[in-house]
Structure 1
Amino acid sequence: MPRVWVIKDKREGTGSQAISLADALGYEYEIKELDSSPFAKLPNFLLGNSLLSISETCKEKFRPPWPEIVISAGRRAALISRYIKIKSQGGAFICQIMHPGYTLNKIYDMIILPNHDARQGKNIVNFTGSPNRITKEILIKARDSWRSKFNSLERPITSLIVGGSNKYMKFGEFEAQDFSKKITRMHGSLKGSIVFTTSRRTGKIGKTISDQLRGEGCKPSLEYFWGAGGDNPYMGILAYSDYLVVSGDSISMLSEACASPGGVYIYVPPNFNSKKHKRYHEELYNLGAAKPLKGVFSNWDPYNFNPTFDMAEEVKKRISFGA
């Protein structure tokens, strides 16, 4: 069995992509979590072939014997996998998820990029969405763990998964009101139960959305606010929901929702200005994996998929043939 290292960024959405691909490969692996130094804020081309971006303690994790396979995700992890490639004298196969930033991209054996990034190259392999952990086995386990909580809810279960403001969009009072009104109209025809959960970026606007839903007579049957403590029902939401309404700012959340059995609606605020994200939304619409949230319910047989296993097969193929 090959020695496999997973270089994990502390940002959960990024690090989980690397772990998801490692799980799909089926080999035993060792997680090397990064602890950044102040130099990590510098662009990769200035950091060069060094470990300046990580702390002195973290540097001790990256010593021989070198692995046969390295899986990294994100710009910060890409710098470390590049270092390993050089120190192993090319012996390590480097699979980089997401664009590595302004660095020597040809040093990576395989770069996994989503189609909506609109980048191509000899060592670039394109897929729809991002690698994620949602499998049939994970969903079965989640159904067992959350049965008592979700079996008591009236069907259909419509779950709202909200991200938050980023450089591409603002999620403020106006967006909260727009979102809540669309959900209320949709729920008027669907009935059933509303489940509401937030993410790390949602912040105080999550409470605003909850209050507005209640004011519209659309009180959530189950709520979870990120960081509030207690068990996070996120996996139960993916396993039990008949419909999932996901804000369009998060590629990771949308990818996980589309790997789940429920029908996915994407909320795109009027001020959303990311061409890359919009390309991904259109790709999902064309596949039949999602529909835009317009406040009108439409029933369809959704296309549920997870690209992670196809990615893993491509890694194995390239290792075997030395691509």
Structure 2
Amino acid sequence: MAASILTSADRATLTAPNLPTLTARILCTDLAGLRSQALGLAEAAGFATDCRTIVPKTPWNYLSPMLWPDARCAVAPAALAPPDGNLLIGAGGAAARLIAALRRPDLPGVIIQHPRMDLDRFDVVLAAKHDDITGPNVIVTRTALHRVNEAVLAEARARWAPVFAALPRPLVAVLIGGSNGRYRLDTAAARALGGGLAAMMDADRVGLMLTPSRRTDAAARAALHEALAPRGAYLWDMTGENPYFGMLALADAIVVTADSVSMVSEAVATAAPVMLARLPGKSTRIGAFMNDMIACGRARDFAGRLAIWPTAPLNDTPMAAQSLRRLLGI
């Protein structure tokens, strides 16, 4: 990889006063976790963003992106339409194939997550510690990238405090994921989790606010509602604006299902203690991340009781953004 991707004229433009910042074209499939990582990195690096959703065309939507002969022909044209922007940032396997095909000397390509292809096809690769890859163009992070920072939390705290003002204290936020091919959150698992959360409400007299995700199926949501609503818990009904950031900002403690590296990374970026609700299933990579969060003292396993211990925010997104600009020479 060249020591500097941009020309000296480009760098001079960046440092000149009152001139536009660089624009990053964001490329990923329609998954909130992937989009949040790419946007979080771009925003922390000070880039403007142009978000494009990768929509595979038939028959390529039935195949793994690893089998696409040319990603430019496999996706709907909206992701490829001008303007190009100044650099490409993507997350996930489909984005990796597309960015490798679109990258040019004047259009650097940045991929988040292990691309499962030659690392030299990208100018910068951002990989998690549990991906176990290194290289001169690789930035390794302990947590997933995201958009949670103190400014976002402060704004959310002010906005959502009145909504949750009547709930008892301490206030516990519960972040619910869903089945994903490696972990299972079916009705039985939701009932078990709901029982543990109900036991915490009864024993520790906490206020509880819960938000599901798009991956949480209706039966699991119903099981959680049955266990918690009669006890006065707030459960977001998936209508209107998601109070997710408000819950992160206001929580004295957080319980999060351990199926999602992104959700846990956002939780540990706050100052609140984080408890992991394990789900049936197994993933070596996701499990290693969760165990790392416990080993460093940032998280503990949820056992049906409130746990409070001294913590500090853990957030590698600012470091990754600074390292990205350094590797790109900007």
Distance 1:282 1:70 in 2: 32
Q: Would you say 1:82 and 2:100 are equivalent positions? A: yes
Aligned residue among 77, 88, 101 for 1:70: 88
- Structure 2 counterpart of 1:34: 54
In structure 1, runs of 5+ residues without a counterpart are none
- Structure 2 counterpart of 1:111: 125
After TM superposition, give the deviation of residue 134 of structure 1 in Å. 0.5
After TM superposition, give the deviation of residue 311 of structure 1 in Å. 0.5
User: How do residues 188-227 of structure 1 correspond to structure 2 at under 5 angstroms?
Assistant: 188-204=202-218, 205-214=220-229, 219-226=231-238
SS at match of 2:163: helix
Distance 2:245 2:146 in 1: 12
- Structure 2 counterpart of 1:261: 271
SS at match of 1:32: strand
In structure 2, runs of 5+ residues without a counterpart are 1-13, 15-21
Distance 2:154 2:243 in 1: 14
Q: Quick one: structure 1 residues 100 and 40, their matched pair in 2 at CA, closer, same or farther if it must change by over 3 Å?
A: farther
Aligned residue among 14, 20, 23 for 2:40: 20
Q: Quick one: structure 1 residues 145 and 46, their matched pair in 2 at CA, closer, same or farther if it must change by over 3 Å?
A: same
Q: Quick one: structure 1 residues 168 and 57, their matched pair in 2 at CA, closer, same or farther if it must change by over 3 Å?
A: closer
- Structure 2 counterpart of 1:125: 139
- Structure 1 counterpart of 2:3: none
Deviation digits for residues 203-234 of structure 1 (CA, Å, limit 9, x no counterpart): 121111221235xx6x24311133xx222211
Give the counterpart letter for 2:237 in structure 1: F
Distance 1:156 1:3 in 2: 42
Deviation digits for residues 110-166 of structure 1 (CA, Å, limit 9, x no counterpart): 211111223334433221121110111111111121121122222111121111112
Q: Would you say 1:54 and 2:69 are equivalent positions? A: no
Deviation digits for residues 287-313 of structure 1 (CA, Å, limit 9, x no counterpart): 221110012333201231221111101
Q: Quick one: structure 1 residues 149 and 316, their matched pair in 2 at CA, closer, same or farther if it must change by over 3 Å?
A: same
SS at match of 2:166: coil
SS at match of 1:6: strand
- Structure 2 counterpart of 1:273: 282
User: How do residues 242-253 of structure 1 correspond to structure 2 at under 5 angstroms?
Assistant: 242-253=252-263
After TM superposition, give the deviation of residue 275 of structure 1 in Å. 1.6
Distance 1:41 1:309 in 2: 37
Distance 1:43 1:231 in 2: 33
After TM superposition, give the deviation of residue 267 of structure 1 in Å. 0.4
Aligned residue among 146, 150, 170 for 2:160: 146
- Structure 2 counterpart of 1:167: 181
Q: Quick one: structure 1 residues 122 and 49, their matched pair in 2 at CA, closer, same or farther if it must change by over 3 Å?
A: farther
Decide whether the 8 Å contact of 1:287 with 1:303 is kept in 2: no
Deviation digits for residues 261-287 of structure 1 (CA, Å, limit 9, x no counterpart): 321100013x33112111111111122
Distance 1:56 1:274 in 2: 34
Give the superposed CA RMSD.
2.1
- Structure 2 counterpart of 1:290: 299
Give the counterpart letter for 1:73 in structure 2: A
Aligned residue among 98, 102, 107 for 2:113: 98
Distance 1:119 1:41 in 2: 29
SS at match of 1:83: helix
Distance 2:318 2:202 in 1: 38
Distance 1:201 1:298 in 2: 27
Deviation digits for residues 29-82 of structure 1 (CA, Å, limit 9, x no counterpart): 333333331224433443244412211444333x6xx54422111111112211
SS at match of 2:125: strand
Distance 1:266 1:179 in 2: 11
User: How do residues 172-183 of structure 1 correspond to structure 2 at under 5 angstroms?
Assistant: 172-183=186-197
SS at match of 1:71: strand
Q: Quick one: structure 1 residues 75 and 265, their matched pair in 2 at CA, closer, same or farther if it must change by over 3 Å?
A: same
Aligned length, in residue pairs? 308
Q: Which has the higher contact order (CA 8 A, sep 6+)?
A: 2
Give the counterpart letter for 1:221 in structure 2: A
Distance 1:44 1:105 in 2: 16
SS at match of 1:312: helix
Deviates more, 1:16-25 or 1:166-175: 166-175
Q: Quick one: structure 1 residues 310 and 211, their matched pair in 2 at CA, closer, same or farther if it must change by over 3 Å?
A: same
Decide whether the 8 Å contact of 1:244 with 1:265 is kept in 2: yes
